[in-house]
Amino acid sequence: MSFFSRRRTRPPTNGGSVGEPTASRVGFESRRTPDASDRLTTLASTVYVVAEAKVLYVQVFKAACSTMLWSLAQMAGKGPEDLAFSTDLHVARELTIHDLSIHPVPTIDRVSPELRHEALTSPEWMRLGIVRDPYSRLYSGWESRRLLLHDGPWTDYPQPDLVVVDGQLDLGTSFRAFVESMMEHRWVWQGDYHFAQQIYQLALDQIDFTDIATTSDLPRVFRSLSERSGRLVDPGRHNEGLGIKAEDVFDDVTAQRCEELYDQDFLQIGFPKRSFATPPPMVLDQVATRALGMIKERNDRITDLSTAIRARN
């Protein structure tokens, strides 16, 4: 695992030298925090506390968070068959792990003051965050929230229509048009966890992390969590999307917009900026475009059912 924050309100305390972040070094591993303090004020329901393994995990949306929540359940000795039925509005079974009412690991607002203090300050604890390349994360947020039409408040945010020509959806043009619109309405979109900068979701200035890793380092994360919990942690990948890469949809203009939107992620986490060539057209044929319409209809039906069930409870 690797991470190094270039700017923090508190300096590194491990006595090591500070190197410039590179593409292969974004982060830190097993950083000692002897002066860690309990000063967290801005996060609650996204901070999970695994007391037996002495692990505190801070969730960053669109950075393998579904996978990480399943890994925490495994650390607690629970699998999908052990969880209660969720009536939350999720369009896939694997996403019900986000339902706080059924997750076996409590969040920091649901533990005792003594355990909270220990989790935030003890040198015996792992304080873990997972981060993701901002280019890939921005596209992933758009794909899951807009393209695949997961229901939520973002459906009412200002945004352009998808670009459809002769019954075929131009995915690349639609995404780039969205990013331009997001720049104009950034204070709306970046108030949503799926599009907010990662440094704020991590509360870097309030939590003394021992480990922050990129999504590409997950195998090493799982080995470490297995060792700490005494259980096999191997949740697989969840909510992975369609497999479209940033190189398939970004051009240099859109990349510059991303760098403006996520300026503090690039600055403080140390992600390298990249150059993008103009990608070839990414167009869904008429069959795939019609399939998206069917997905929307089914999502709308799931929304109706979830709303009705929750109204009865």
How far apart (Å, rounded) are the C-alpha atoms in residues 203 and 133?
Answer: 18
Residue 11: other Cβ atoms inside 10 A: 9
Q: Which residue in this structure is represented by tokens 């000795």?
A: 77
104 within 8 A of 73, measured Cβ to Cβ? yes
Percent of the chain with pLDDT over 90: 62
3-state secondary structure the chain: CCCCCCCCCCCCCCCCCCCCCECCECCECCCCCCCCCCCCCCCCCCEEEECCCCEEEECCCCCCHHHHHHHHHHHCCCCHHHCCCCCCCCCCHHHHHHCCCCCCCCEHHHCCHHHHHHHHHCCCCEEEEEECCHHHHHHHHHHHHHHCCCCCHHHHCCCCCCCEECCEEEHHHHHHHHHHHHHHCHHHHCCCCCCCCHHHHHCCCCCCCCEEEEHHHHHHHHHHHHHHHCCCCCCCCCCCCCCCCHHHCCCHHHHHHHHHHCHHHHHHHCCCCCCCCCCCCCEECHHHHHHHHHHHHHHHHHHHHHHHHHHHC
Residue-level pLDDT at 146: 86
Residue-level pLDDT at 236: 77
Residue-level pLDDT at 13: 31
Q: Mean per-residue pLDDT for 274-299?
A: 86
Residue-level pLDDT at 222: 96
Residue-level pLDDT at 295: 76
How far apart (Å, rounded) are the C-alpha atoms in residues 77 and 96?
Answer: 17
Q: Give tens-digit pLDDT for 37-58.
A: 999 999 999 999 999 999 999 9
Distances (CA, A) of 287 to 32, 167, 294: 54, 9, 11
88 within 8 A of 306, measured Cβ to Cβ? yes
205 within 8 A of 280, measured Cβ to Cβ? no
Residue-level pLDDT at 91: 52
Q: Give tens-digit pLDDT for 120-168.
A: 999 999 999 999 999 999 999 999 888 876 667 888 899 999 999 999 9
Q: Mean per-residue pLDDT for 87-114?
A: 80
How far apart (Å, rounded) are the C-alpha atoms in residues 62 and 132?
Answer: 8
Q: Mean per-residue pLDDT for 273-285?
A: 93
3-state secondary structure 31-75: CCCCCCCCCCCCCCCCEEEECCCCEEEECCCCCCHHHHHHHHHHH
Q: Give tens-digit pLDDT for 214-225.
A: 999 999 999 999
Q: Give tens-digit pLDDT for 16-45.
A: 222 333 333 466 767 777 788 999 999 999
Where exactly are the structural domains of the chain?
A: 47-312
Beta bridge partners, 252, equal none
Q: Mean per-residue pLDDT for 298-302?
A: 73
Q: Give tens-digit pLDDT for 237-247.
A: 766 678 899 99
Beta bridge partners, 58, equal 47, 129
Q: Report the predicted TM-score, pTM, of the whole model to 2 decimal places.
A: 0.83
Q: Among the listed ranges 163-167, 224-228, 295-299, which one has the minimum average pLDDT value?
A: 295-299
230 is written with which tokens?
């005494």
Residue closest to 139 by CA, chosen among 251, 59, 217, 235: 251
Q: What angle do CA 115, 116, 117 make, to 5 degrees?
A: 90
How far apart (Å, rounded) are the C-alpha atoms in residues 138 and 96?
Answer: 22
Q: What average pLDDT is seen over the chain?
A: 85
Percent of the chain with pLDDT over 70: 84
Residue-level pLDDT at 1: 39
Does the pLDDT of residue 98 top 80, yes or no?
no
